[in-house]
Amino acid sequence: MDYVYTILILVGLFVTLASSFDLVIGHCGLISIAHPIFYAIGAYVSAMLAKEAGVPIPLAILCGGAAAFVSSVLVALPSLRVSGDYLLIASIGFQLGLIEFAKHIHSIGGAGGLTNIPSFLVNDYGRLSYVLLVLAVAVLTVLFVRWLTRGPYGRMMAAMRDDELAFPMLGRNAIWLKVSIFAIGSGIAGVAGGLYAHYFRFLEPDQFGLLLSSAILTMVVVGGMRTTMGPVIGAIVLQILPQAITFFGLPPSILGPLQGLMFSGLVLFFMFVRPQGLLAAPDIWAGREPKAGRRSGLADV
Amino acid sequence: MFEVLKVSGLDKRFGGIVVADDVDLALVKGRVLGLIGPNGAGKTSLFNLVCGVVKPDAGSIMLAGREINSLPIRERARMGLARTWQNLRLFQSLSVLDNLMLGQRDYSADNLLDIMLRPGHVANRERDSLDRAYAILDQTGLAEIAHSPIGDITFGQQKLVGVARALMNDAQCLLLDEPMAGVEGQAYAVIQRVVRDIAASGVAICVVEHNVGFIRDLCDEGVFMFAGKVLARGSVESLIADPQLTELYFGT
């Protein structure tokens, strides 16, 4: 049963990651694949606060989210002021650089990893309680992204994706919008990181590299960008698939590379065969009726 | 004669290409100025300089008495400068109504904290924008297609949406870049009427247009540009009648 709970927790965490990543890359159109580094920042900050400073774990997890939020602003602000393309380079540089850096910091475990992270809920209330917490965060994230992208803020995101010159000419602030969304998405990833740390109780820098980037990207692409349920389905499918192939009893030397191949293969397959992902949805904003059904065309020229 | 926009000594060159050469221009409250000249004369470039899309090499741009040279595009828009684009630049994945909603000078969701913490405030401002958008859709005869995606409407209607979206700003200065190119029939008449109404309400308007009939009917004054220079100004009739300018316009 513990195995099932662990899988459910991983599914919940990846739904949170994929949904928040879809907010950044899908809805806002920001090209960055460094989502895992903000997951890592949340995980490490939360773990260290709880382990070394005795901060209550719920507060530590929120601080992890805040740390991810703030560091993402520091990465996004300078690069987005130049141009959107620089965000990809700056964020990957930040991701890989910070991973290498963390490997050499002994106080956070270095390359060997951070162990003995305090656990949360599981000892007192059992694993199921943690499963419920993680799934609740996942559901809240999905609902939050849906709410944000279907409101007036989502209208701005759609417009900015469409035309970056007409957008400021209407008085809208594109940089502020991009930085805000990048920070919110990263902050959610940071909270997910904290949840990861206090369940698995072990972190190592290499977990948060490009393989995880490609896994999250695959989830969003396979599920369907800019759909509510796309990242959810993508996260479930891509979390279950690697678990399923472990039952074939392949040696670990094959299993590791096989997962990477599977992710890249799926992205390529979907890009060519079904670029809209498993779930295709019409654009949220095209031809949508207003909520209150105000007026229905009383044209008088 | 309140000068809403005043451009003085504006210079801009891209390498060897001069797009603005000591340009002086004033837009007056309630009047329509026509920018005339052949392709490449620097008319759209002048709009881009005024809006902040392109930074000038020298000269000053004053909007309502304040120098705006160093302001970013969005700040100029928020001071009441609106424009349309030659290639429309409508938001393709949005409906007509949503295109207009984004043109409100103080957009409901400009401040992310408002969305999170003051949803009632945002809802009120959305309602105000919606009312204004419907008023403008009525004025431009677009109310029937308010919920249509941009890709589903005719080119003439798209041109109208471009103008309507610019009107949402409640601007004191409006720049129209070839509003009539490719437009005929009903949309033509509507744009003509709307421009006249907006000018009458006290907005300073500048129009770049190749349609001489439109310019003659609508503009109080014309400016003839060539190779980044203002060559002549005066009534549209006198500019059209000038054989030298006609020769420059059509080439020899």
Q: A291 lies in a domain?
A: no
Residues A223-276 pLDDT 10s? 989 999 999 999 999 888 877 777 777 787 887 788 778 888 888 888 888 888
> How many independent structural domains does chain A possess?
1
Strand order in the sheet with B229-234: B81-83, B173-177, B204-208, B32-36, B221-226, B229-234
Judge contact between A171 and B74, C-beta under 8 A. yes
Show Cβ contacts of residue A28 under 8 Å, excluding neighbours closer than 6 positions.
A157, A160, A161, A177, A178, A181, A182, A185
B148 touches chain A (CB under 8 A): yes
* Residue B51 main-chain phi, psi, to 5 deg: -80, -15
> A138: distance to nearest CA of chain B, Å?
19
Residue of B nearest to A156 (CA): B102
pLDDT at A292: 45
pLDDT at residue number A85: 79
Domain annotation covers residue A276: no
Q: Is the pLDDT of residue A1 over 80?
A: no
| Alpha carbon distance B156, B198 (integer Å) | 19
Alpha-carbon distance of A269 to A283, in angstroms, equals: 23
**pLDDT, position B210:** 87
Q: How many CB pairs under 8 A join A and B?
A: 126
Residue A280, domain member (yes or no): no
| A239 domain-assigned | no
Q: Is residue A157 part of a domain?
A: yes
Query: Which backbone phi and psi does B251 adopt, to 5 degrees?
Result: 80, 170
Which pLDDT score, from 0 to 100, does residue A24 have? 95
Smallest Cβ–Cβ distance between B149 and the set A152, A287, A298 belongs to: A287
Q: pLDDT (tens digit, 9 = 90+) per residue, A29-82?
A: 999 999 999 999 999 999 999 999 989 999 999 999 999 999 999 999 988 877
What chain A residue is nearest to B165 in terms of C-alpha separation?
A170
User: What are the chain B neighbours of A288 within 8 Å (beta carbons)?
Assistant: 95, 98, 147
Collapsing DSSP to helix, strand or coil, B134 comes out as: helix
* Residue B192 in tokens: 């003509």
At B228 the pLDDT is: 93
Q: Is residue A297 part of a domain?
A: no
Per the structure, the complete domain to which residue A59 belongs is given by: 2-209
Pairing of strands B32-36, B221-226: parallel
A252 domain residue, yes or no: no
- Does A136 map to a domain? yes
For each of chain B's 252 residues, which pLDDT tens digit applies? 789 999 999 999 998 889 999 999 999 999 999 999 888 899 999 999 999 999 999 999 999 999 999 999 999 999 999 999 999 999 999 999 999 999 999 999 888 888 889 999 999 999 999 999 999 999 999 999 999 999 999 999 999 999 999 999 999 999 999 998 888 888 888 999 999 999 999 999 999 988 888 888 889 999 999 999 999 999 988 888 888 888 888 775
Whether A165 has a pLDDT exceeding 90, the answer reads yes
Give me the domains of chain B, ranges plus CATH numbers.
Answer: 1-80+171-252 (3.40.50.300), 90-170 (no CATH)
pLDDT of residue A125: 83
